[in-house]
Amino acid sequence: MTRASSGAAELSADNVVIGAGLSGLAAARTIVDAGGDAIVLEARDRVGGRLLNATLGDGVTVDVGGQWVGSDHARVRQLAGQLGVEVFPQFGEGKNLLDVGGRRRLYRGTIPRLGLRVLWAVFLARRRLDRLAKGVSAEQPWTAERAVELDGITLAEWCAENVGTEIARQLIGLAGRTVWGAGPDELSLLHVLFYVSSAGGFDKLIDTEGGAQQERLDGGAQLLPIGLAESLGDRVRLAAPVRRIEQRAGSVLIRADGVEVEARRAIVALPPALAGEIEFDPPLPAPRPELGRRLLPGRLSKCMALYEEPFWRADGLSGEAVTDAGPVTLTFDCSPRDGSAGVLLGFVGGPEVGELELIGEEARRAAVLSCLARLYGPRAERPLDYVEREWSAEEWSRGGPTSNFGPGGWTGCGPALREPVGRIHWAGTETATVWSGYMEGALQAGERAAQEALASDSGVG
């Protein structure tokens, strides 16, 4: 290692990966496994990005970022197996709660007990979205028949035309606040269809059993990036936010705080809005810079309350609830695997996140706990401990769970999403074609970008 004139450490490698989230680490691992070398530059002083463990009380680990492993998240399962991290089922015994329009109903499974008209409207909407999504390729959504039309309206506009009852429209909106961290009036219909297509069906997104919320990782999801980073050793450099990427003949020069790396190729594994803040020399060609302005992080907060025991189970409740009373829209039982304590998770998603931001931490906590008490009784209002994570406030994430296009985004700049620019390749869950937005997508995208970089280097380069 030498010192650059700026005082920064100077390194060189075949490949430099920007971002030590699951995607960047998977990219680096793939390169190293293929016999190449890679340096990973991470802005934060930790790895994992949108995956983060926290501790409640005297040692209960909870996930304040991504947590569930879906039924067909094969890459996540394989990685967990390699790292010795076990998966266990999301608790789902007992009845779920639906609290909309001022009425509280109990039900089992995904389908709540609603009037026949509402049930029929929800069933039809799901079937129609699935049918439309079949015509949208997760690789190239902008090539769909009527892509411009589908990209020209929001999910809310589509629901207004196609979903028969107000409660059914509301239910779709509430589900979307957690799935995308956005209100239905913020999402392009084509984006929703892309997402459904990349997951393999609408129900996959919202179901627990057989869907994206099927299982959890014992010890917390952050164990996956931590394990990957450990396997990469000192190739991973923390507290090194990348500010500038220069492309030269035959190489790239990456300038980060405290370190400069010269490499043959760069893999940028960041949410597009954050990639858009890096200075590129020469500037990226149109429409790539547009992506940073139009593919915007969702807004999603996780609020978790710790209790002595999962007391709602004794009342025959699963801990899963959908509510329009606010600010929480969805709850889950996130107690430890052995049930030795009780943890309720409340999601606040979409525009409500911004509204809650304004009222300050204490009032926010009171509002969330009062919502939990409305659902589960007064004990819910007196937790032993409490944590909230507002991802929009995170400098190096800006939101979550993923980034979304509003109208015109996919058709306007979608083709630039994965298209390499010279020696720069793009990873990150947003660029995935399978389970985009999820850990599974982050791994797929990292592996794909690494293969791309390796193949380019073994070719003309």
Ligand X SMILES: Cc1cc2nc3c(=O)[nH]c(=O)nc-3n(C[C@H](O)[C@H](O)[C@H](O)COP(=O)(O)OP(=O)(O)OC[C@H]3O[C@@H](n4cnc5c(N)ncnc54)[C@H](O)[C@@H]3O)c2cc1C
Which residues contact ligand X by CB under 6 A? 18-24, 41-44, 49-51, 65-68, 241-242, 269-271, 274, 278, 300, 302, 391, 396-397, 400-402, 428-429, 437-439, 442
CB of 454 to ligand X, least distance (A): 19
Q: Shortest Cβ distance from residue 433 to ligand X (Å)?
A: 14
Name the residue nearer to ligand X (CB basis): 15 or 23.
23
Nearer to ligand X, 401 or 414 (CB): 401
Task: Rank residues 349 and 414 by Cβ distance to ligand X and give the closer one.
Answer: 349
Q: Which is nearer to ligand X, 18 or 322 (CB)?
A: 18
Shortest distance in whole angstroms from residue 340 CB to ligand X: 22
Closer Cβ to ligand X, 49 or 383, answer by number: 49
Shortest Cβ 301–ligand X spacing (Å):
7
Nearer to ligand X, 233 or 459 (CB): 233
Question: How far apart are CB 321 and ligand X at their closest, in Å?
Answer: 17
Q: How far is the CB of 378 from ligand X (least distance, A)?
A: 27
| DSSP-derived pairing of the beta strands 87-89 and 215-217 | antiparallel
Judged by beta carbon, residue 297 or residue 414, the one nearer ligand X is 297
Q: How far is the CB of 131 from ligand X (least distance, A)?
A: 25
Nearer to ligand X, 27 or 190 (CB): 27
**Least Å from the CB of residue 27 to ligand X:** 9
